[in-house]
Amino acid sequence: MKYSIEEFKEYDKVKSKVMKYVLFKKRTEQEVRQKFSKDIEKEILDDIIDELKENSYIDDYNYIEKAINEFVNLKSLSIKEVKYKLLSKGIKSHLIDEYILKNDEILQKYEQESAYKIMNKKRNCMEQEEISMYLLKKGYQEDNIRKVLIDD
């Protein structure tokens, strides 16, 4: 889009706001849109987002990778819970599925380790069958639950 000098000054001003927001913490395209949709004209916001995507400041696939690495290091989640957390950030389902498919072996191992941690925490207050049902409700895959119960 072509801008007059005044429009360009405005564009540059709002782009700086968006840049600060994106540089403070990795953001998804949807997060940026939600934050600024009321304050910035749609066409201008689209142009800013396109520019930030071209320069890799906004990259949803990269966001998935970083978020999953963070989950693996800090939390015990099922693959399904990870997917829901990413969907809640506005990331498109096909991008998440693509990442999960490419990293299936690593994510299956992570899910098994997560299930094992949960099982160890719950074993004093719950029977094995209750733990199994708990893990199923949290989205853990039956095969991974079975492996964890067999290995125990």
Q: What is the pLDDT along the chain (152 residues), one digit of tens a residue?
A: 667 888 788 888 999 999 999 999 999 999 999 999 999 999 999 999 999 999 999 999 999 999 999 999 988 999 999 999 999 999 999 999 999 999 999 999 999 999 999 999 998 898 999 999 999 999 999 999 999 888 76
Residue recorded with tokens 């990870």: 82
Pick from 58, 53, 55: nearest CA to 22: 58
Pick from 53, 51, 23, 17: nearest CA to 35: 17
The pTM of the whole model exceeds 0.85: no
Residue recorded with tokens 């949709």: 37
pLDDT in the model for residue 95: 95
pLDDT in the model for residue 6: 83
In whole angstroms, give the CA distance from residue 12 to residue 20.
Answer: 12
Contact criterion met (CB below 8 Å) for 119 and 148: yes
- The CA distances from residue 57 to 21, 29, 50, 117, in Å, are 11, 10, 10, 35
Contact criterion met (CB below 8 Å) for 56 and 26: no
CA angle (40 as vertex; 37, 42 as ends), nearest 5? 70
pLDDT in the model for residue 1: 62
pLDDT in the model for residue 5: 83
